[in-house]
Amino acid sequence: MLPPTTVVVPLLFGSVAIGSGAAILAWRERPNPGATPLVWLLGGQSVWATCIIFSLSAESVSGTLTWTKLGWIGVMIVPVAWILFALEYTGRDQYITRRNVALLSVVPVLTVCLAVTEQYHGLLYVRAAGVTADGAVVAEQGGVWYGVAAAYTYLLGVLGIVPILGLVSSRATAFRGQSAALLVGITTPWATNVLYNAGALPSAGIDPTPIAFAVSGVAYLGAIRRFRMFGANPAPTWRAKEFLFDHIHEGAIVVDGHDTIVEINQTGAAILGVDADRALGASASELLPVSGPIQADGGRDFLTVGTESTSQSYDVTMTELTDRRDHTLGYVFTLHNVTRYLQQQQRLKVLNRVLRHNIRTEANIIQGYAERTADETAKTIKRRTMRIVELSEKGRDAIDLFEDAVGEWNQSSLDSLVGDCLAGARDAFPDVAFELDRPTEDAPVPDGAAVVVNNLIENAAVHNVGSDRRVSVSAWVEGDQAVVQITDNGPGIDEYELDILDSGTETPLRHGSGLGLWLVKWGTETIGGSVDFEPAEPTGTIATVTVPLSGSDGRTPAPRDG
Amino acid sequence: MASKTNDPAAHADDIVSRRGEVSASLAHACSRIKDVLTYSSAYLVFIAMVEVLTVHVVLSLPLSPAPVVVGLVTFSVYAGDRIADAEGDALSTPERSAFVTRHREALSLLTAGAYGVAIALAITGGPVALAITLLPGGFWILYASDWFPTLGRRFKRLKQVLVVNSAMVASAWAIAVVGLPLAFAEAAITPLSGVVFVYFLVDTFVNTEIPNVRDVEADAADGVSTLPVVFGIRRTRHALYGLDLFLVAFVVLTLAFGPLTVALAGAILVGLGYALVLAWFVGRTNAPGRLAIAGESKHLVVFALLLVSTAGL
């Protein structure tokens, strides 16, 4: 039976009760990250404390020494379980392989073996050092391997604290609370163990470290129940960051302040044609042959990789990484494949040339031949030819819109934009009465809005076939938006046309009558605005265009679809 | 104008109304206590402690923490099992499943704490007592938890294996009930303790199969092979008759040729007669839950008879 020793003994019993109870709770939390290693940790602590109790209650010296030796099983389970717990709980479970666990277990297994066979070598000796006043045999331990085991235990203890410390600085308050509880749980036994080994604790020669682990048990229970350690687990955040970095379609390269690549994802390595592992540590400027200087935060340039027929072009973005004091830590380069976009650009340029020059030239030749005759047929030919020219000009406008859509819009004054549009319309449609209500407050707008307003005015004038043809244009500023409203007294826009416009596409059997309304739709989309049609009283249409005001630098970033 | 409070008739109505409220509250409280005792398996704790006390009396062992340890472990394992199977039990025992689900957090903490305290108490009995205390928990991991199948395809929850499941439960509890008082007393294993062990082993097996009749549909859906699932309820009843009659023969033989005393044999035989009557009700009652509780309560009868016959109470 146990001798009535110090208060340490009942505390040891308490540590077993708490440790084993907490182990059961942790067991029930499997397979949540960290639960299984926590079971081992608390189990190891309970074994340790139990062996101390049995060594104290042993009725012979040999019994005391046997239980002290067996206690090493629990002693050495704890640090391994702790490091595995810290890794798994913080989402670094990729390091928890069978091989790594086996490697981590080498020193503990050797320690237990050396403890059990200590009488043959003395590398880790366990011997009776005396008897307490209560009659309990006190065991003394030491030897070369004792120092190795202690150093190894402390090393794993510190290594395990490092990832947990990362949670303390987490932005998520719940994780900070959890990790603070865990830190209390783990630092208490380590500190107790250091003080015990330094002889600074009055524990009558009994190692009180397992008792301190009871504090750990309470802290873990608190972390489990109060902070919902396994309910709100930070493991996915770490893995998510890794997953995103590895699996995004863009190449991503992290460069430190010394031009050295410190991280690169598989896509980035594939783009640069290098092995990801070998690229680490290489010079960034050698691997990223971007012509011209790269500007931080949004500066762009194109990187072309490969031969002409199979070359791929990448939009390179460099983002500066800074610490909390705004000191530069490094840069993240992202490589976005823009090959198809550049090919599209080339095709648009060819189409632009065809529409701008070739169709007009051919139309002029046809008109020249038509003028040689003076009958009604010639007039029809000339009118129809002009229609072809107008269509080609609208097609050209559309191409201009698409080209500008991937760049940045220049700005125009709202007042001058509506004034210019109306002046052009008055020249083109002298039979229509135009009215302009200028904005009381002028503001900069993207000049792409001119295409929209021009087409709406033209649409209002050209389809207005009555004797009293009127088109009124009014513009004003509403907050950070400019509004242009075009009202006519014509027959109104056919619902069929608006339906097609809403559907966003045409088919050979279902199509509109021209390009004008499409230009209005595409134009408002590319400048980030909107257009709304409603019937006017008694007849006609009210078209309302809303466009965002340009930025203070006078340029509006165009929406990009990549 | 007389006030209402001075109206004798109204006053009497008030008293009647209050009495009604008090009795309703009492009934409600009793119902709650019954739910807690039944659904949390707390009644099993009491019966398990009585079983251990029976062993103390039969083997003439000094009183030890063994009954408390067994009680704590019983609560931890049974309530823990009900937490783990709460979803599956919704089919066979919906009220119990709802109770466990509603109090899952509290039950979880209590069961873990109970086992922790049981282990700490068992340490005072030495390594053998500790090992016996860990046995039901270890068996439960092999029996019911989903950990065992994760070891490989050939491993499946022993709860699903015919006879092995009930035999495992019976072994764990028979060892705990008989072994723990012996370990605490540091007493040697005697022929009488062997007889008591066999009695508790077979009896616990029978008591494990009785609730399986109620759970037959849920067990079949869960892939758990029990006697009712595999052989049907009628043959299960016959099997239980057979096991009880085997025990009757065993007790008579050990009385004739072994260490059993007349008082002990008489108490056990009365208990077995009670068990045979209960076996007749298997599959023939509309209250299978009560039948299971009645089966476990047999130990109260045996203990009471033992006290009367041996201690003269």
pLDDT in tens, A18-67: 889 988 888 887 777 778 888 898 899 899 999 988 888 887 888 888 88
- What pLDDT was estimated at residue A559? 42
What's the pLDDT tens digit per position in A144-163?
Answer: 898 899 899 889 988 888 88
How far apart (Å, rounded) are the C-alpha atoms in residues A559 and A538? 38
- Is residue B229 one of the residues assigned to a domain? yes
B116:A21 CB<8 A: yes
| CATH code for residues A248-337 | 3.30.450.20
Q: Work out the percent of chain A whose per-residue pLDDT is above 90.
A: 10
A18:B76 CB<8 A: no
In this structure, are B144 and B199 located in the same domain? no
Tens place of pLDDT per residue across chain B (313 aa) = 333 344 555 566 666 677 777 777 777 777 777 676 666 677 888 888 998 998 998 888 898 999 999 999 988 888 887 887 777 666 666 777 777 777 777 888 888 899 999 999 999 899 999 999 998 888 887 776 666 666 666 666 777 777 888 888 888 889 999 999 999 988 888 888 888 898 888 888 888 888 787 777 777 777 777 888 888 888 888 888 888 889 888 888 888 887 778 888 888 888 888 888 888 887 777 777 777 778 778 888 888 888 887 765 5
Set of chain B residues whose Cβ sits within 8 Å of the Cβ of A53: 123
A13:B120 CB<8 A: yes
- Looking at the complex, report in whole angstroms how far the Cα of residue A179 sits from the nearest Cα belonging to chain B: 22
Number of domains in chain B: 2
Fold that domain A8-236 belongs to in CATH: Rhopdopsin 7-helix transmembrane proteins (1.20.1070)
Set of chain B residues whose Cβ sits within 8 Å of the Cβ of A16: 116, 119-120, 123
Residue in A with minimal Cα distance to B109: A25
If 0-12 CB within 10 Å is exposed, 13-18 middle and 19+ buried, where does residue B209 land? Answer: buried
- Is residue B31 one of the residues assigned to a domain? no
The ipTM is 0.79
Interface membership of A21 toward B (CB under 8 Å): yes
- Is residue B300 one of the residues assigned to a domain? yes
Highest mean pLDDT (candidates A196-200, A425-429, B258-262, B292-296): A425-429
- What pLDDT was estimated at residue A152? 93
How far apart (Å, rounded) are the C-alpha atoms in residues A333 and A231? 36
Set of chain B residues whose Cβ sits within 8 Å of the Cβ of A225: 105, 109
Task: Please state whether beta strands A470-478 and A433-437 pair in parallel, antiparallel, or not at all (unpaired).
Answer: parallel
- Residue ranges per structural domain of chain A: 8-236, 248-337, 343-406, 408-562
Task: Say which residue, A490 or B285, is predicted with more confidence.
Answer: A490
- What pLDDT was estimated at residue B283? 74
From the list A490, A498, A480, the residue with the least C-alpha distance to A556 is: A480
CB proximity list for B273: less than 8 A, separation 6 or greater: none
Interface membership of A2 toward B (CB under 8 Å): yes
In this structure, are B203 and B117 located in the same domain? no
In this structure, are B133 and B193 located in the same domain? no
Containing domain of residue B276, as a range? 189-313
Q: Is the pLDDT of residue A477 over 50?
A: yes
Which of B83, B123, B151 has the most A C-beta neighbours within 10 Å, making it the best mutation to test the interface with A? Answer: B123
In this structure, are B202 and B309 located in the same domain? yes
* Class of the CATH-defined domain A408-562: alpha beta
B115:A24 CB<8 A: yes
Which CATH number belongs to the domain containing residue B275 in this structure?
Answer: 1.20.120
How far apart (Å, rounded) are the C-alpha atoms in residues B249 and B269? 10
- What pLDDT was estimated at residue A299? 45
What's the pLDDT tens digit per position in A162-181?
Answer: 887 776 665 555 556 666 67
CB proximity list for A309: less than 8 A, separation 6 or greater: none
Longest dimension (CA), chain A: 135
**B108 in Cβ contact with B81 (< 8 Å):** no
> Which among A1, A24, A50 is the nearest to B112, CB-wise?
A24
> Which among A20, A25, A54 is the nearest to B119, CB-wise?
A20
Q: Is the pLDDT of residue A242 over 90?
A: no
The region that residue A528 occupies, defined by phi over 0 for left and psi between -120 and 50 for alpha, beta otherwise, is left
- What pLDDT was estimated at residue B104? 79
- What pLDDT was estimated at residue B285? 75
Interface membership of A17 toward B (CB under 8 Å): yes
B123:A13 CB<8 A: yes
